[in-house]
Amino acid sequence: MRRLLLTLATTTLVVAIASCTPDDGRVVAPSGDAAALSSARLEPVTAQSRVRAVPSDQWDAMVRAGMVREECPVQDRDQLRRVDLNFTDFDGQDHRGHLVVNADTAESVRHVFDQLYERAFPIARMVGVEEFDGDVGASLAANNTSAYNCRRSDQINAPFGESPHANGRAVDINPVQNPWVDLRCDCWTPSADNKERTPGAGKIVADDAVVRLFEAQGWVWQNIDVPDYMHFDTGYPSEPPPPVRQES
């Protein structure tokens, strides 16, 4: 069934792209919010996720955004991988997105998100934080699911060397549905609208399917002393996950 849906989604995507293509063959660039998602939304939805090297142009954008700096634990592109993933949005439409993670974490992330896709767990969007100029606040406000980010000094929650996000071993999922308490302002971020842990589309609650999938791979949910419902990591200080368990 998922493969049939993928075929239909790919056909729909090709038609949609064709409708935005002038007679001279140029593809009209999206504007506004769509522009920030163009690199993910214009990729065809396929049957297979994949792990690959971070493209050089994406790495350059990450460096320009300040996500790779002298104090960051990641200094070389080979330390990271890009995991290309299919996901279903809140309208039931399939898309192609990606997460940038540590090379030692890529297969674990791929396994979990393949399972989430099979369960049609809704995800709003999934692009690298360089699309938001490295600003984690902007990424959270846009309800962007993301992973690697050596955050700015005024946005960090842990020393750079120990930080799960700075090491590419943490994922934040649907921040709007799964906010956290930012101690810098003692406020729910990106908003308090979904602070109550009641089941709902895209929300993560204790012992639900999302938590169980991550925990089966050795990850920890909201590994911090304040509510952080969006956040999973492999441990603090940051460390690699155990080998992937295929049976989960």
Domain ranges (residues) in the chain:
2-233
pLDDT of residue 7 exceeding 70, the answer is no
Q: What is the pLDDT of residue 21?
A: 37
Taking only the tens place, the pLDDT of each residue in 84-102 is 999 999 999 999 999 999 9
Taking only the tens place, the pLDDT of each residue in 163-194 is 999 999 999 999 999 999 998 889 999 999 99
Band of pLDDT at residue 153, cut at 50, 70 and 90: confident
Six-digit token pair at 89?
A: 């949005």
Give the residue among 89, 99, 119 at the shortest CA–CA distance from 49.
99
Q: What is the pLDDT of residue 15?
A: 38
Give the residue among 9, 4, 179, 211 at the shortest CA–CA distance from 92.
9
Band of pLDDT at residue 104, cut at 50, 70 and 90: very high
Band of pLDDT at residue 247, cut at 50, 70 and 90: low
Six-digit token pair at 178?
A: 């799964």
Q: What pTM was estimated for this model as a whole?
A: 0.82
